[in-house]
């Protein structure tokens, strides 16, 4: 019946399911020679396949509200009252009253009008991007934080090659899952037993995107904004004079690997859009690890530690430096500019360090700043692995906040530690990595080499001026605080206030970041966690003469927790005062006039952040941190978990002493623990 054009049976590569179907319904007269092969199914590239599309809720997310001006002013004054003398506060209150009746009212109305004309985004999006991109300070130690992965529970998988391969593969699978719209949407489940279910997913999947949020809300589940995710991969912050730009090229398929300051490229995605095999990735990484060359004397990465206008100038000179040698990534004679485009468009950075940091302070220094030679701080994120397999992410902050990064972090850690693609026994593929992995070497003239030397020296001085210390505490933990019916985050914020009060006998401007991802294009709002309640608690706990009973101190803890909970709720719902005042100031400055409220020393003081705090609690995170944001302040990363409480703190001596502060944190935790045990902490 069927006429074959070849004497030999056709060679057909089919999946096993198709072969079974053929065997059931064989066609008489058709001879088929079957060759079993490991067919690459697109599902192999996904971490999971959500039945609810990743972007299902995006269109129906509520818009970030602009608070009422009167409420913003009230909240602002409440935060100021804790920091000011009566005379200072009276002066600030007068300026607020004038602002409320005059310029502030007009600015608020203009902000509301502008917001109504831009319903696709939020009122804070443009000002917040500009705040980051116009900042001329270096990224490292100023903006880029780090998060360290918990070690793989199996020591044999902590080998640098094995772990790097598994983390890279899982990172690529996370990317493919999101881009295929198959990543489970970010949803905050108020009642997980009711909403984090298959029934919930089937229900919301059937709803039109325009109303899907409201269906989730009926289940007391709150979808979160995912608009930052596209910038996680193939993205770079490019330095420009006055204002940097964010660049993304999602078509690029190559990775950037840095080791000993040398830069390498290889394709991690094939021409069909599939992830190359784990064994091939392993072969490429092994080839790079085996490169016997000494450290690069003129490692370009250190240039990304420069002040942004200076780096913009140097980068322009670098891109115009001339033709390359014959070994180019795509063709011979590629210009420096071509190499820079490959760096900018790379999927992400894999930094392979030769260091083996031993204690948490060394780990912080390695992952927060390093010496700059084995980094490219401009990339959206860098996956860093030490020689002994410790791993971390250092990420640029302009493009997004901790929500997107932590989701990536959790998914990649979970898969790489439970379903790894390579093992200690895995043999890398026999692909010739020498032909596939390309080492890129920029043409450097004497002036560019001088810039690199200068950047290295300046950065070393800056890093040496930073001090770090950490604390782990286990006398009480998250579960204990819940049993005490106290907010874990509120109590940790109180501990930070108490520690600073112990050290300096005063209350200062404090910043706690709170995500507003519950709204379309939301970013963050500030929780001003130095409050009248925490100030009173600090004074009570530091009395040396047993003035207050255990019951009094317990009441102070409860009041601090209650008020902090109120502030947290307001911030998460877009009802803080910081972003509202900031946006009005931003647009007023564009018009060339800044109201007197913003020229008040009180406004300057409350925005000179002495205690910059942030928390990330997750089983996948062992330690994280960031640089202090002011010369006389502390950068306080903290976590409260079921097994421990942790602090990781940075500062710039000599105006502050991080080691004394850590000791004050411990004493403050002990004071609170004494109350839990029914003891007055000042009793002998």
Q: How far apart are CA 684 and CA 671, in angstroms?
A: 13
CB crowding 532-569: b at 16 or more within 10 Å, else e: ebbbebbbbbeeeeeebebeebbebbbbbbebbeebbe
CB crowding 581-596: b at 16 or more within 10 Å, else e: bbbbbbebeeeeeebe
For residue 622, give the 3-state DSSP assignment: strand
Residue 626 burial (CB count, 10 A):
23
Three-point CA angle 252, 253, 257, nearest 5°? 105
What is the three-state SS of 445-466? CHHHHHHHHHHHHHHHHHHHHC
What is residue 330's DSSP assignment? S
What tokens appear for 509 in the block?
A: 């401007």
Closest CA to 622 of 637, 632, 634, 635: 637
Burial of 117 (0-12, 13-18, 19+ CB in 10 A): exposed
The β-bridge relationship of strands 235-238 and 221-223 is: unpaired
Q: How far apart are CA 159 and CA 140, in angstroms?
A: 28
Q: How far apart are CA 238 and CA 311, in angstroms?
A: 9
Q: How far apart are CA 554 and CA 680, in angstroms?
A: 10
Please give the C-alpha separations between residue 192 and each of 58, 184, 531, in angstroms, as whole numbers.
21, 15, 32
Q: Is 397 a catalytic residue?
A: yes
Which residue matches tokens 């809300």? 217
For residue 172, give the 3-state DSSP assignment: helix
For residue 74, give the 3-state DSSP assignment: helix
Contacting residues for 58 by C-beta, under 8 A, at least 6 apart? 209, 225, 226, 227, 520
Chain mean position to CA 225? 15
Q: Which of 262, 284, 369, 397 is catalytic?
A: 397
Q: How far apart are CA 501 and CA 541, in angstroms?
A: 10
Q: How far apart are CA 190 and CA 213, in angstroms?
A: 14
Q: What is the dihedral of CA 501, 504, 506, 512, to 10 degrees?
A: -60
Which residue matches tokens 């001003």? 528
Q: How far apart are CA 297 and CA 262, in angstroms?
A: 9
What single string gives the DSSP state of each residue in 9-67? PPEE---HHHHHHHHHSPPTT---EE-------GGGG-S---SS-TTTTGGGPPBPPPP
Catalytic residue ranges: 397
């Amino acid at each position: 019946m069927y006429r074959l054009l070849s004497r030999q049976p056709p060679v057909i590569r089919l999946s096993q399911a198709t072969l079974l179907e053929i065997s059931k319904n064989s066609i008489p007269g058709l001879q088929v020679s079957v060759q079993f092969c490991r067919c690459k199914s697109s599902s192999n590239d996904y971490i999971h396949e959500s039945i609810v599309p990743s972007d299902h809720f995006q269109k129906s997310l509520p818009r970030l509200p602009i608070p009422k001006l009167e409420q913003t002013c009230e909240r602002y004054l409440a935060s100021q009252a804790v920091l000011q003398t009566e005379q200072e506060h009276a002066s600030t209150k007068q300026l607020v009253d004038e602002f409320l009746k005059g310029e502030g009212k007009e600015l608020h109305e203009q902000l509301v009008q502008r917001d109504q004309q831009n319903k696709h985004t939020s009122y804070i999006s443009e000002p917040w991007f500009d705040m980051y991109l116009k900042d001329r300070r270096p990224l490292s130690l100023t903006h880029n934080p780090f998060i360290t992965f918990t070690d793989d529970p199996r020591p044999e998988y902590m080998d640098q090659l094995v772990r790097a391969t598994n983390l890279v593969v899982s990172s690529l699978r996370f990317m493919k899952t999101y881009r295929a719209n198959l990543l489970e949407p970010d949803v905050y489940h108020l009642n997980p037993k009711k909403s984090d279910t298959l029934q919930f997913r089937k229900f919301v999947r059937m709803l039109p995107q325009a109303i899907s949020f409201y269906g989730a809300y009926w289940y007391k589940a709150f979808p979160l904004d995912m608009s930052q995710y596209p910038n996680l991969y193939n993205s770079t912050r490019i330095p420009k004079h006055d204002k940097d730009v964010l660049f993304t090229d999602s078509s690029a398929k190559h990775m950037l690997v840095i080791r000993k300051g040398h830069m390498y490229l290889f394709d991690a995605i094939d021409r069909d859009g599939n992830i190359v095999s784990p064994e091939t990735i392993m072969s490429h990484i092994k080839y790079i690890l085996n490169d016997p060359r000494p450290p690069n004397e003129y490692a370009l990465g250190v240039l990304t530690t420069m002040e942004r206008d200076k780096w913009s100038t140097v980068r322009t000179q670098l891109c115009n430096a001339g033709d390359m040698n014959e070994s180019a990534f795509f063709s011979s004679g590629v210009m420096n500019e071509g190499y820079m485009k490959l760096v900018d468009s790379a999927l992400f950075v894999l930094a392979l360090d030769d260091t083996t940091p031993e204690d948490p302070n060394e780990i912080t220094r390695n992952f927060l700043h390093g010496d700059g030679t084995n980094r490219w701080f401009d990339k959206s994120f860098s996956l860093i692995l030490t020689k002994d397999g410790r791993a971390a992410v250092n990420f640029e902050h302009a493009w997004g906040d901790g929500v997107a990064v932590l989701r990536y972090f959790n998914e990649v850690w979970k898969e790489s530690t439970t379903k790894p693609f390579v093992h200690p026994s895995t043999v890398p593929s026999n692909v010739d990595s020498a032909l596939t992995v390309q080492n890129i070497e920029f043409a450097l003239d004497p002036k560019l080499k001088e810039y690199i030397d200068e950047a290295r020296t300046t950065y070393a001085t800056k890093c040496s001026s930073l001090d770090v210390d950490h604390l782990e505490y286990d006398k009480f933990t998250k579960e204990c605080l819940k049993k005490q019916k106290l907010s874990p985050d509120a109590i940790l914020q109180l501990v930070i206030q108490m520690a600073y009060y112990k050290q300096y006998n005063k209350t200062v401007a404090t910043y706690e970041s709170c995500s507003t991802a519950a709204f379309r294009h939301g970013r963050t709002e500030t929780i001003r966690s130095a409050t009248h309640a925490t100030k009173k608690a600090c004074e009570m706990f530091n009395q040396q003469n047993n003035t207050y009973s255990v019951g009094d101190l317990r009441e102070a803890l409860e009041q601090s927790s209650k008020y902090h909970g109120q502030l947290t709720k307001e911030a998460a719902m877009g009802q803080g005062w910081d972003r509202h005042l900031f946006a009005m100031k931003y647009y007023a400055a564009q018009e060339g006039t800044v109201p007197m409220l913003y020229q008040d020393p009180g406004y300057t003081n409350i925005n000179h952040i002495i205690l910059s705090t942030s928390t990330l609690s997750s089983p996948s995170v062992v330690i994280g941190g960031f640089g202090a944001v002011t010369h006389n302040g502390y950068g306080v990363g903290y976590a409260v978990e079921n097994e421990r409480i942790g602090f990781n703190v940075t500062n710039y001596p000599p105006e502050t002493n991080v080691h004394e502060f850590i000791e004050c944190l411990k004493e403050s935790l002990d004071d609170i623990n004494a109350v839990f045990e029914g003891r007055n902490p000042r009793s002998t």
